[in-house]
Amino acid sequence: MSTLAVVLVALVAAIHVYIVALEMVLWATPRGRAAFGLTQEFAESTKALAANQGLYNGFLAAGLLWGLVGPADHRFAFRVFFLACVVVAGLYGAATASRRILLVQALPGAVALAAVLLAG
């Protein structure tokens, strides 16, 4: 696996760890509200939904990290599967929530996936 592919996978995992923090911990704080353009009232009323969404992003981060440090004979499959999930989630989020998700989630995932596939 190329160093570039590893770095890109790690970057996408880090993005998702940050998203977990935003959705599960910081959602109703000024930082979380600013990141998602939320009012205090809306943020408070949707905290449980955001935390659930954050948990799913945590699974993406965990899978990507396992693709970096898990059993060597399974790393490629984990990287490809979880990066594909990131891309699909980013496309769906862009179509249903905010087009900004294309740049924040789908594009980094797609670039990392291409690097992983090219590195073989």
* d(C-alpha 87, C-alpha 9), whole Å: 12
What is the per-residue pLDDT for 120?
86
| Residue 20 burial (10 A CB sphere; 0-12, 13-18, 19+) | buried
What is the per-residue pLDDT for 1?
75
What is the per-residue pLDDT for 63?
98
What is the per-residue pLDDT for 104?
95
What is the per-residue pLDDT for 75?
97
What is the per-residue pLDDT for 64?
98
46-22-7-119 Cα dihedral, nearest 10 degrees: 0
pLDDT by residue (tens digit) across 60-86? Answer: 999 999 999 999 999 999 999 999 999
Which residues, given as ranges, of the chain have pLDDT below 50?
Answer: none
Query: What are the residue boundaries of the structural domains of the chain, listed by start?
Result: 3-119
